């Protein structure tokens, strides 16, 4: 082959450049092939997925923005403008204070504000568009009205109780139930009837503590979605019908009389045995009887009695009786 040496040099220089570019493109393809499975294993989304996620977020934001609408922005702007125009007098309506044992649940244009309940201390509201409810976190007690309950053994009793509860979540107590106090009272009365309906009369009278624990667990489970925590339940009184009271009193009186007679009979039996043993001892030694007489006199004289009865043994009169016969 013949040719210009300059042309040959240019061709030789061009060939490595093409090779380098080809090698670089191959290495990039290999790198992309190795990186793509790593990205898929790590869960990194592709461009299309990212775009889909961004579209979703945009939709959610537009939904949340459209929930208030232009009217909400307009009312908010007017309210802020009124606050600025009437400053500092508007602070009287904007600044609110709740105590240490209270929380404030704020609604803006009917929607719950983010961040939950406010307090204790100072918080701010926009007077025209904000409303708030104060919730007391202290323990509240109430009496359950007497409930006429038919026990398991078909006995009608009237039972009343005391329930102690407090608010554990102020926001839920406002948003999930209309009146948490009334709802808790009604649930307590129903739970009292349901629990005592499965017990006998003897169990109701003797197992008050266990019944209280069962009622507390049931009430706490039922009021948990309302943000209410039931701390304690106590049964105050169990009232029986008058006829049943009389029957139980007669039964108890009869059983007490029977026990009293048995105790008296056992005492007489023991006393008779002791007297028999004492008579046997006195018959063996006549002098012991005289000592017993003297001991009786000593006990009578200790009481400062004016009349003393002294027993005289009949053996002293035997000599006189013999002389009179002669």
Neighbours of 137 (CB within 10 A): 19
Q: In angstroms, rounded to a whole number, what is the distance separating the alpha carbons of residues 240 and 159? A: 9
What's residue 10's pLDDT? 41
What's residue 187's pLDDT? 94
> What average pLDDT does range 287-291 have in this prediction?
72
Phi and psi (nearest 5°) for 107?
-120, 130
What's residue 147's pLDDT? 87
Q: Are 227 and 172 in contact (CB under 8 A)?
A: yes
Q: Where do runs of H (alpha helix) occur along 162-307?
A: 170-175, 180-196, 201-206, 208-223, 242-284, 286-301
Question: Which residue(s) pair with 144 in the sheet?
Answer: 161
Band the pLDDT of 214: cuts 50, 70, 90: very high
Q: Are 198 and 206 in contact (CB under 8 A)?
A: no
For residues 238 and 294, the model is more confident at 238
Tokens standing for residue 66: 């459209």
Q: Is 164 exposed, middle or buried (0-12, 13-18, 19+ CB in 10 A)?
A: middle
For residues 204 and 20, the model is more confident at 204
Peptide bond connecting 88 to the previous residue in cis, omega within 30 degrees of 0: yes
Tokens standing for residue 20: 């380098």
Nearest CA among 146, 129, 134, 142 for reference residue 171: 134
**Parallel/antiparallel/unpaired status of strands 140-150 and 156-167:** antiparallel
Q: Are 228 and 184 in contact (CB under 8 A)?
A: yes
Band the pLDDT of 190: cuts 50, 70, 90: very high
Q: Are 133 and 83 in contact (CB under 8 A)?
A: no
Band the pLDDT of 309: cuts 50, 70, 90: low
> What average pLDDT does range 227-244 have in this prediction?
88
**b/e 271-281 (16+ beta carbons within 10 angstroms → b):** eeeeeeeeeee
With tokens 């100072």, the residue in question is: 122
Q: Which of 62-76, 81-95, 192-206 has the lowest average pLDDT?
A: 62-76
What's residue 305's pLDDT? 63
Nearest CA among 165, 170, 173, 166 for reference residue 103: 170
Band the pLDDT of 94: cuts 50, 70, 90: confident
Peptide bond connecting 120 to the previous residue in cis, omega within 30 degrees of 0: yes
DSSP designation for 117: -
Q: In angstroms, rounded to a whole number, what is the distance separating the alpha carbons of residues 122 and 171? A: 18
Q: In angstroms, rounded to a whole number, what is the distance separating the alpha carbons of residues 184 and 144? A: 10
> What average pLDDT does range 215-223 have in this prediction?
92
Q: Which residue segments constitute the domains of the chain, with CATH numbers given?
A: 82-136 (no CATH), 140-240 (3.30.479.30)
Q: In angstroms, rounded to a whole number, what is the distance separating the alpha carbons of residues 299 and 308? A: 11
Nearest CA among 230, 205, 218, 72 for reference residue 139: 230
Q: Are 174 and 135 in contact (CB under 8 A)?
A: yes
Phi and psi (nearest 5°) for 138?
-75, 160
What sign does the CA torsion over 22, 27, 28, 32 have? Answer: positive
Question: Which residue(s) pair with 267 in the sheet?
Answer: none
């Amino acid at each position: 082959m013949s040719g210009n040496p300059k042309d040959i040099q240019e061709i030789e220089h061009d060939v490595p450049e093409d090779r380098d570019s080809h090698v670089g493109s191959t290495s990039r393809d290999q790198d992309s092939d190795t990186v793509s499975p790593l990205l898929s294993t790590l869960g990194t989304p592709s461009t299309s997925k990212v775009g889909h996620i961004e579209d979703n977020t945009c939709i959610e934001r537009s939904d949340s923005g459209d929930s208030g609408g232009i009217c909400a922005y307009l009312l908010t702007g007017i309210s802020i403008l009124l606050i600025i125009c009437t400053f500092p007098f508007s602070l009287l309506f904007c600044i609110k204070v709740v105590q240490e044992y209270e929380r404030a649940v704020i609604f803006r244009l009917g929607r719950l504000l983010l961040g939950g309940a406010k307090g204790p201390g100072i918080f701010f509201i926009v007077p025209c568009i904000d409303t708030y409810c104060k919730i007391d976190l202290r323990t509240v007690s109430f009496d359950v009205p007497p409930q006429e309950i038919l026990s398991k053994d078909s006995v009608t009793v009237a039972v009343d109780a005391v329930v102690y509860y407090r608010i554990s979540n102020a926001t839920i107590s406002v948003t999930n139930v209309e009146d948490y106090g009334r709802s808790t009272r009604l649930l307590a009365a129903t739970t009292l009837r349901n629990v005592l309906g499965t017990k006998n009369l003897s169990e109701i009278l003797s197992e008050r503590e266990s019944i209280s624990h069962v009622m507390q667990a049931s009430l706490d489970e039922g009021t948990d979605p309302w943000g209410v925590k039931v701390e304690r339940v106590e049964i105050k009184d169990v009232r029986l019908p008058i006829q049943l009271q009389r029957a139980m009193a007669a039964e108890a009186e009869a059983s007490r009389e029977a026990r009293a007679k048995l105790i008296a009979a056992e005492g007489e039996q023991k006393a008779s045995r002791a007297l028999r043993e004492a008579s046997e001892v006195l018959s063996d030694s006549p002098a012991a009887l005289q000592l017993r007489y003297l001991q009786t006199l000593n006990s009578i004289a200790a009481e400062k009695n004016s009349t003393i009865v002294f027993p005289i043994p009949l053996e002293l009169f035997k000599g006189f009786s013999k002389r009179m016969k002669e």
